[in-house]
Every structure is written in structure tokens, then in C-alpha cells.
Amino acid sequence: MTHDCRIDVRFFAPPPEFADCLTSVYRLELTVDDGGRAEDWLQPEWGNLRIFSGNLPSAQVAGGELVDDARFTVTGPSALATRFELGATRMWGIGLLPLGWARLVRRPASQYANLLADAERHPDFARFGGLTGVFSGAPDDEAEYARVVAVLRSLDAPVRDCERIRAVHAAMVELGLASVEEFAHRAGLSVRALERICRRHFGFPPKLLLRRQRFMRSLAAWMLGGMGRWSPAIDELYTDQAHFNRDFHAFMGMGPSDYAALPHPILSAFMAQRAKTWGSPAQTLDRPGSHPAAPSAGAAAPLT
């Protein structure tokens, strides 16, 4: 299934009013040899909107329904892997941080946890339909980015929990955060208030969010470190290899050795380019508002 391919990706800094709302807005072009398709696995992430022009994806969250041939997909915050196949295409991706989900989607994130859907067929995302007009005429990064931003601005609305969402997010990405009680303390909330904010705006209870952070730090370190031995990449908060293996199965639906044996033609290069140009390999590791001041173009990355 997986053919040789390469990506060209360009990351755009969100407009100032969305600095704490979007992980990034990016344009990706995927070229696949011989008209084939590449296979890969998306890792747990925040919500995303993705619009395609060219080959359309086939994707499935573990245990979920297959979404095939959708030109506009939406994912909710996830704690499961998503297997996908994709051929040559041009794509715009919009990563929604928890505050961005609250301001733009305006629905409890927990209702859409681990969601993958055709956004044009899902009634709760019909209001984002204007994003399907991002491709108009010849490819033009700046013009397409401007269209994306215009649609997002038209959907923006204030959120009552804004400051609490920021505080929880800032606390969550700190290193060494080992317990829900400590999480609540750093966020300046009671444990009960933290539970409410996390479920409504982050999609999951705080204990699961901490586990996901620990796991994603480990997985990102492994992918950026050459994808060799696991032990140097495992986060210090894991008690031992068996502890890490259990989390790997829970989040990815397979063991570390099974995952390492699979090809990762898109994610490995994308994460490396993201870390180089954006300062963070994965959106779950982004700190709110910590974006470059200007758009940054990434060079094409060969994938085999």
C-alpha cells in the first residue's frame, strides 16, 4: 500500500486574535509515486479541520466507522490512533486548541471525543462549509490562507470560561506534572472545577489528559530521535517499560514494536518539519500562544 512519497508543508502563524486558539494553519502538498497511496497513523491530537483538493483520504479511528472520499474532514480531540490512506493531494489543515474549539465549534468537546467525520455531512459542522471554498483557481498560499482566516473570523464568538481554559492548558503542558491534584493546583482550580473544564473544553478527564501528554512526549521523542530504541525516549514519569507499553496499547491500539515495524511515510517527515519550523513536533505538545511571529515555509521533505 505505502508508496514512496514526499511532502511540502508550510506553516502559518494564526492571526493575533487566534493565538491561543489554533495550533497552526498549514498547507501541505503530498506527492506519491506512480499514482499510489501512502498509509500512516495519526496520533492522539486536538480537534482538526482538514480540506483536500486532489486525492481524498480514507481514514478510520480505532473502533470507529470508515470515512472515505471526504473533501472536508473534522476530528474531535482524540485519545486513539487514526489509520489513513492518502494519495497525491493539496490540503489545508487547521488545528483547534481547546480554546479554539470553544470559540469556533461552541459545543462541549467531550461530545466529539475521538470523532472522525465528513464535515459536509455532519449537521454540527455545516457552519464551517465556507472552508470548502479555500481552493479557487490556481494554487496560491497567501490567497488560500486569507480565505481560511476569513471563514474562521466569521465563526468566532466569546467564551465565558476563556481564562480558565488558558490556565488549564498552560498547566497541562508543563513537564513533570504527575497527579490531578498538582494539575488543579497549577491551574488555580479545585479538582472538581478542573474536571468540569477538562471534560467540557478539552474532551477528556484530567487524568487521561495527563496520560496523553506523557505518552505523546515519549512518542514524539522517539520519532524525532531516529525511531530506534524506545528506552531513551520514554518519559521520566513512566515507572518502567511495561507501564509505557500499556499506555501505548491504550492510545495506539498496538504495541511499540508493532508500531515501529510499520511505515510512517507522512507523519515522520511532517513531525520533523513541524519541530524545525514550528518549534513543536505535535500539536498536543504546543503551548497556547507560543507561535512564530510570521509565517514560516518548510522545505520539501523526501519520504520513502
Q: pLDDT tens across 208-231, in order?
A: 999 999 999 999 999 999 899 999
Q: Give the lowest-confidence range in 1-15, 80-94, 199-213, 244-258.
A: 1-15
Q: Is 1 exposed, middle or buried (0-12, 13-18, 19+ CB in 10 A)?
A: exposed
pTM for this predicted structure: 0.93
* Residue owning grid cell 459542522: 125
Name the burial class of residue 162, with classes exposed (0-12), middle (13-18) and buried (19+) by CB atoms within 10 angstroms of its CB: middle
Q: Are the C-beta atoms of 156 and 179 separated by less than 8 Å?
A: no
- Level-2 CATH architecture, domain 5-159+269-303: Sandwich (2.60)
Instruction: Indicate whether 292 pLDDT > 60.
Output: no
> What integer is the mean pLDDT of 117-141?
95
What is the pLDDT at residue 45? Answer: 97
How distant is the alpha carbon of residue 296 from its chain centre?
A: 18
Chain-wide mean pLDDT for the chain? 92
The three cell numbers locating residue 100: 479554539
Cell numbers standing for residue 68 = 472515505
Residue 6 exposed, middle or buried by CB count within 10 Å (0-12, 13-18, 19+):
middle
Side chain identity, residue 120:
E
Task: Give which of 23, 203, 160 is closest to 100, Cα–Cα.
Answer: 23
Q: Output b/e per residue, 252-271; b: 16+ Cβ within 10 A.
A: bbbebeebeeebbbbbbbbb
Give residue 300's pLDDT. Answer: 40
One-character DSSP codes across 248-279 = HHHHHSS-HHHHHHS--TTHHHHHHHHHHHHS
Q: Where are the domains of the chain?
A: 5-159+269-303, 162-258
| 242-to-114, 247, 249 alpha-carbon distances in Å | 25, 9, 11
pLDDT class of 2 with cuts at 50, 70, 90: low
25-73 pLDDT per residue, tens: 999 999 998 889 999 999 999 999 999 999 999 999 988 999 999 999 9
Q: Check residue 303 and give its pLDDT.
A: 36
Which numeric CATH code is attached to 162-258? 1.10.10.60
> Which three cell numbers, joined as nine digits, stand for 187?
491551574
266 within 8 A of 7, measured Cβ to Cβ: yes
